[in-house]
Every structure is written in structure tokens, then in C-alpha cells.
Amino acid sequence: MLTLADHLAEWLEPGAQPFAVATVVGASGSVPRPVGTAMAVRADGAVVGSLSGGCVEAAVHAAALDAIAVGECHRETFGYSDDDAFAVGLTCGGSLEVHVQPVRPGEDGDPAAVALARLVAGRDAPAALVRRLDVARPTAVLLDDLSEPQGGMAPPGSDNPLRGLVDDGALPAVSAQVAAVLRAGGAATVHAAPGVPDGACDDGVPEEPVTLLVETRLPPPRFVVVGANDFAGALVRAVHLLGYRVTLVDAREVFAAPRRFPQADEVVVDWPDRYLAAEAAAGRLDARTAVAVLTHDVKFDVPTLRLALGLPLAYVGAMGSRRSHAQRMQALDDEGVTPDRLARLRSPIGLDLGAVTPEEVAVSVVAELVAVRYGRAAAVPLSSTDGPLHAVPDTPRTTHSKEHHRWT
């Protein structure tokens, strides 16, 4: 629904016809469009958007008109049938689950109409739309204050924006999962146990899990890699897979060549601290931003880390040996960096995986990044251990053959 907001301005005007929005909320196998893809159908049959490129559109169109007539939400599943080649379904062999929700513009009690109108007014401003999928009544909660990393989800008190969408028993679990989607961006469904004792109704029949669809209108989180070297190249490739917008910055033009880092979204030749200061002043760094300093050169490290540790970033890490780490910490202390800020530094960078090669170190850093993102304190960062960074292997390293695994 959120992806269509800007195309529905005319449909939301007072006195406009009712319409329904069909949204992909589940997909498996080979499917043409991802979760969050939406199509709107007006009462007169007009259409905006598409779900599958044609193979289920007619059936979804009929389901949307039915939702308008009945005034309730429902879900439809479309898949391919070998038994009936003429059945409505996906010839590509996948399966789509579609949620259909009616919208009545101009009605104050219609949560989707209110949310969509606010989205249109906000245009490109960051926002998230949360809807409950396991109930027939139309629902929609718009989150438009995403300045905090949790998106206003925690703690689950009376000001929690999801209150009223789910009951108090399910609110903590739902809030934590919605906050995780807000950090990552994109669209996703979240599930939580119902907020009743033992998950059962009065008649003893277990209730279905609470299911929400979270759609975000957020730019991808940023990852700034400082230092143009082989370790940086491996890290750029790794964090790119997590959906970050990756910037590599180095003051040395001869090393900071875009052709060396093809998966970086941008390669910047500048002093790293000056670049970070300019980005912060322009409002382009936020509480989802991560910075990894891989230069292990004091003239780059100390000014950059001093600045980064003073910004409200999600992650700040620095590569180097134990000796380099100790010297760096002393230099930062001498520069007046406070102990609470120094405690935020992930150094030596990464989890204790025994990583050696640039690619292995990248895995170590990404593992720590994910652990920090989800608050997994049980993960063991190198900064909380002592001793050698690399264990001495008991046996020579061998090359293992590749195996294919099927996950069920």
C-alpha cells in the first residue's frame, strides 16, 4: 500500500469512490514481485499498480471489488496447479499470498484513508505503514517519526503507536520485531503470539499468531568504509549484500580508484574526518549509519574516530592489532574523548572468528554488525577478549569441496 501512496492522491479526495488495495504479503518459489508490491482497484474498475505482470491480475481485481462491496479485509493465495492448467495461478510455479483491504476516502474512521492522506502530504519523508493481516477489520498505523533507531517502538508504554493495533500481551514482541524491520528498511511480515494466557481463547482453542505487515519508506542504511585496501574491498562486498549504501573514503587518490571497488555506491577522495563532518552537517548520517576505519594509520584513525564517536551512529569499528588498539585508545584519550564514547568503539573490529584473510575479516565484521543491530550481547566481540587475534592451527589448512544443501 505504501508504494502506491503517491499515485493515489486523486483517489483520496473528499467524495472520491471507495477503492481496495491488494498487497503481496507472502511469496515463495519463483514469483514476479516481492512482499510489499501493491495494486489498487477503484469501485468503477480503474486500476493502479500491478502484482504479477498479468497472471493473477484478473482474480485480484475481482477480489478487490468484493472487498469494497463487503467492507472487510481478506487474504487470497495464488499458486500453480498441475491438475488444472486453466486455473487462476502463477505459471512460473511460485505462490503469492495477497491481502486485500478496502479504503473509503473521506471517512474519519477509515485508518487506511487517513494514513494514505498523510503519506501523500509527506511525499518523500521517511515513514512506515503497519497493518494487521489476521483480522477482517481494516487497520493501518502510520509511523512518521523515525528519528529514533527504534522508530518509537520501545518501551511498549501508553505512547506506543501500535497500541490499539494489537493487545497489551502481544505488544512487546510485536514492537521489537517492527523495530527490527524499521532498522533494515523494506517490507516484511512479523508474527507474535496472541496476548492471552497460554495463547488460548476462552473456549480453549489456540489463537492464530498476530500477523502484521510493515512497509517502510526509508533510504537504505549507510556504511562508510575508511581506507582503500584489500580488507576494505572485501568489506564493501560483504555489507553491500546486507542492503547498505556503501561509501569508501580515503585521502590517497592513487588507492581510492572506483575501479578497485566496483560494489561501492561511491568512492570519495578526501580526508575521512573532513568527509564525515560534512556528511553529518548535511544530515546524511543517522542512527542506522555504520563506520569502519580500516586504515590503521594514526593520522587518519584518530581524527576520524574522534569525530565518529561523537555522532549518534549505530556502529563504529576500527581495525588493528592489540598494540595498535592500545595506542589508538591512548591517543583518543589524549584528544579528550570521554570514556563513555570510547566504550562505543568496536576495536579490534569484528567477532572472534579466527579470521585471517580479507574475506574472513569481512565476515567477522559483518557478524558483529548484525549482532549490534539486533542487540545480541551474547555474541563475543574481539574488543571484549584478550590474547592472540588469530589462533595457531593444529593442522595445515585444507581445501574443502563445495556441497549443495537444501534447507527446509
Closest by Cα among 280, 268, 284, 281 to 236: 268
Give the mean pLDDT of 123-139: 90
Q: Is residue 96 within 8 Å of 32, Cβ to Cβ?
A: no
Q: Is residue 59 within 8 Å of 24, Cβ to Cβ?
A: no
C-alpha distance across the termini of the chain, in Å:
31
Whole-number pLDDT of residue 405: 25
For residue 176 the three cell numbers come to: 521489537
In three-state form (DSSP H/G/I as H, E/B as E, the rest C), the secondary structure along 344-364 is CEECCCCECCCCCCHHHHHHH
What is the tens place of the pLDDT at every residue in 1-23? 888 988 999 999 888 999 999 99
Closest by Cα among 196, 386, 358, 379 to 292: 358
What is the tens place of the pLDDT at every residue in 365-407? 999 998 888 777 666 666 777 766 544 333 333 323 322 222 2
| CA dihedral sign of residues 148, 152, 155, 158 | positive
Q: With 50 as the cut, is the pLDDT of residue 363 above it?
A: yes
Q: With 80 as the cut, is the pLDDT of residue 267 above it?
A: yes
Whole-number pLDDT of residue 87: 46
Maximum average pLDDT range among 118-132, 159-173, 300-314: 300-314
Whole-number pLDDT of residue 172: 87
Q: Is residue 100 within 8 Å of 21, Cβ to Cβ?
A: yes
Domains defined along the chain, listed by start: 1-107 (no CATH), 125-197+206-218 (3.10.20), 222-384 (3.40.50.720)
Q: With 90 as the cut, is the pLDDT of residue 102 above it?
A: yes
For residue 193 the three cell numbers come to: 503470539
The answer to pTM > 0.85 is no
The owner of cell 576520524 is 304
**Residues 155-193: b if buried by 16+ CB within 10 A, e if exposed:** ebeeebbbeebbeebbbbbbbbbbbbbbbbbebbbbebb
The owner of cell 501493491 is 38
Whole-number pLDDT of residue 135: 93
Cβ neighbors of 328 (< 8 A, separation 6 or more) are 298, 301, 302, 305, 318, 320, 347
Cβ neighbors of 57 (< 8 A, separation 6 or more) are 39, 47, 50, 51
Q: With 60 as the cut, is the pLDDT of residue 57 above it?
A: yes
Give the mean pLDDT of 138-146: 86
Cα–Cα distance measured from residue 254 to residue 158, given in angstroms and rounded to the nearest whole number = 56
For residue 111 the three cell numbers come to: 485508518
Which helix (DSSP H) or strand (DSSP E) does residue 20 occupy?
Answer: strand 19-28
Q: Which of 80-94, 239-253, 299-313 has the lowest mean pLDDT?
A: 80-94
In degrees rounded to 5, what are phi and psi of residue 150? -90, 0
What does the mean pLDDT of the chain come to? Answer: 83
Maximum average pLDDT range among 14-23, 193-202, 212-221: 14-23
